[in-house]
Amino acid sequence: MIIPAIDLINGQIVRLYQGNFSEKKIYSNDIHAKIKDYYSQGAQIIHIVDLDGAKDPTIKQIKLYKSILSKIDVYTQIGGGIRTEKDIETLFEIGAKRVVISSVAISNCTEVKKWFKNYGGNAIVLALDVLINANNCKEILINGWQENSQLSVENVIKKFSEYGLKYVLCTDISKDGTLLGPNFVLYKELTQLFPHICFQSSGGVSSLEDIVRLKSCGIKDIIIGRSLLENRFTLLEAISCYQNA
């Protein structure tokens, strides 16, 4: 399916270029209106990222999430700065349907395995932000893309697959926010290696043709941010394109 993305900094909808916080573009501060618009066009899930929380877990925008979800009955998956089980419980309590975890899966693997056991694979999305090096190794970046974990995507997926991993959100950071097209080779390799995983692609989608190609690569969910914010096509058009591809 098509999943519209809303990235937030200080209560504003933004997009970063290749994850660079110094290259930030602000689109709107009316989050409720944007979510309602996506929902009215047929969105089944809204992907929300707290970029403040991703950079510094002590300043997560929980009050903002609570305000949004108290006014709009919409299925959301939320990520950014989730480090503890209390963080997960808080998001579920205010209405999130899935939580998106990233850095903590690398820094505290043992604890995250417990979360998969406690909540199940349907409740947790594992977000892996990828930097492909000169040797074509898919290295995972953590802590708001500020640190290289030196671990490969393949090894991390294998590790958590034993504990019920179902959803993996994979982003090639060189593509994120660029409108230069997704990394189709990356996604095709991963879907073939791990057919049991529902991969969510993120980054680079600039046209409806990108959606067609991603589906042909085996991608189940396509997260789209900047193209929708800049009206390159509507969410309704994107959903129709995916369904008919």
Active site residue 73: no
CA neighbor of 129 nearest in space, from 88, 169, 73, 165? 169
Question: Rounded to the nearest 5°, which phi and psi values hold at 105?
Answer: -65, -25
User: Residue 17 is which amino acid?
Assistant: Y
The CA distance from 140 to 162, in Å, is 19
Buried b (16+ CB within 10 A) or exposed e, 152-162: ebeebbeebbe
Q: Are 211 and 232 in contact (CB under 8 A)?
A: no
Active site residue 172: no
User: Which segments of 59-207 does DSSP mark as H helices, in order?
Assistant: 62-71, 85-94, 103-107, 109-119, 153-161, 184-193
State how beta strands 12-17 and 2-9 pair.
antiparallel
Look at residue 13 and give its three-state secondary structure: strand
Per the structure block, which two tokens stand in for 77? 């998956």
Catalytic residue selected from 7, 52, 172, 221: 7
Catalytic residue selected from 50, 129, 176, 210: 129
State how beta strands 167-172 and 198-202 pair.
parallel
- The catalytic residue positions are 7, 129
